[in-house]
Chains A and B, each alone.
Chain A
């Protein structure tokens, strides 16, 4: 297990390594392997990139993001322009169902509402607007309304996790109740933890995934 000082060093190096992040603007605190990011960045996309960078570092148990987005003047857009660009990109995104997602923008904060069949569509919609000029934050209130529910979901999730594992990834316990999947156990990295989440979301009939898998090195 890494000490907090070494972990902090790795997080700082990874932020500096990522060309999408202005690392000088980000402060890093680490306590008991929980990382807190503070500071100001120039876009929501950069904030998103900073979060992703921290997730690549093994040994991070949890992440708190207290970064403000402060748009430089040339990145400001009116709410009306942002809303128009957002609905245009959503309409053109091939994996999204047509006309089922609404966008509202207020002071650069975009709120997405509506329903989709799958969580990957919900995430695709969020990603599509997250990188737009003028966006300060994205609230994703899209609901997942599955078309069908399967009864052998638990078994199918466990099998999917197993299929992807190169070796012993079978420390994950899967529980399913009323479309809510709970994942427990321990894995060795955030990437494996995310992969388990994704596998669970891919099951038909799932409306929510509660991932309480611990990351242990």
Chain B
């Protein structure tokens, strides 16, 4: 079991190690395994990278992100909106004609209805990587679809197939398209993988994550 002090040092090292992150501008605090990141960064992609880098360190139970994004240079909201529109339209797996884009002071808000969870996530990822973007609010909703009756079993099988270390400690309940995950996982990376697998299930419109990190 790592102490807060060790975790703080490991997170700082991991941020420093990741070439996508300017670690000098990030402060790291740790309290009982919960990491808080403070500071100013130059892109939203860098902010996401910092969050992920902290999650990669073993012993981290949760990450609180207090990072501001200040892009270098001036970006007009109209230009960002145009770039986001085009990026979504050109992506094969994004149903761009049903997604609406709104940009305000660099914050991009996505809305609309899609069929699959992966399309919602992909649309968010696509606009997250653009220059000038300060943050993304994903209000895309899922079309009402009926989940097949054996969907819980199929999710369980997918988790087992991925050999998620603690797959058998995760229980899944699906009601009206909402999947609730309960149980224990070993790392934040496992938790992300489990939630990602659930979003691929047919008929899932929301995921409630009640997974706990094993101490």
Q: What residues make up the interface of A, taking CB atoms closer than 8 Å to B? A: 10, 13-14, 17-20, 43-46, 49, 56-58, 75, 85, 88-89, 92-95, 117-118, 120, 124, 128, 131-133, 156, 159-160, 163-166, 189, 199, 202-204
Whether B92 contacts A132 by the Cβ 8 Å rule is: yes
Q: Which 5 A-B pairs have the closest CB atoms?
A: A94-B43, A58-B163, A43-B92, A45-B92, A118-B19
Known A-B contacts: A19-B202, A92-B83, A160-B14. Give 10 more (CB < 8 A): A45-B91, A46-B92, A46-B93, A49-B93, A57-B162, A88-B86, A92-B87, A128-B129, A131-B90, A165-B58
Whether B45 contacts A94 by the Cβ 8 Å rule is: yes
Give every chain B residue within 8 A of A89 (Cβ-Cβ): 86-87, 90
Closest to A128 in B: B129
Give every chain B residue within 8 A of A118 (Cβ-Cβ): 19-20
Closest to B116 in A: A19
Give every chain B residue within 8 A of A75 (Cβ-Cβ): 92
- Whether A124 touches B129, Cβ cut-off 8 Å, given contacts A45-B93, A95-B43, is yes
Count, chain B residues at interface, CB 8 A: 40
The answer for the CA separation of A56 and B162 in the assembled complex, in Å, is 6
In the complex, number of A-B residue pairs with CB atoms less than 8 Å apart: 106
Whether A133 contacts B200 by the Cβ 8 Å rule is: no
Closest to A44 in B: B92
Find the residue from A85, A128, A202, A204 having the highest chain B CB count within 10 A: A202
Question: Contact check: which of B116, B129, B157, B186 meets A95 at CB < 8 Å?
Answer: B129
- Shortest CB distance B77–A (Å): 14
Sample 26 A-B pairs with CB under 8 A, ordered by A number: A13-B157, A13-B158, A19-B118, A19-B202, A20-B118, A44-B92, A46-B92, A56-B161, A57-B161, A75-B92, A85-B86, A88-B83, A92-B87, A93-B131, A94-B45, A94-B129, A94-B133, A118-B19, A118-B20, A124-B129, A131-B93, A132-B91, A160-B13, A163-B10, A163-B57, A199-B17
* Binary flags per residue of B57-68, CB closer than 8 Å to A gives 1, else 0: 110000000000
Give every chain A residue within 8 A of B57 (Cβ-Cβ): 163-164
Whether A132 contacts B90 by the Cβ 8 Å rule is: yes
Whether B133 contacts A18 by the Cβ 8 Å rule is: no
Q: Which of B185-212 contact A (CB under 8 A)?
A: 186-187, 197, 200, 202
B40 within 8 A of A: no
Give every chain A residue within 8 A of B200 (Cβ-Cβ): 17-19
Closest to A206 in B: B19
B56 within 8 A of A: yes
Closest to A98 in B: B131
The answer for the CA separation of A124 and B93 in the assembled complex, in Å, is 17
Closest to B80 in A: A92
The answer for the CA separation of A16 and B90 in the assembled complex, in Å, is 25
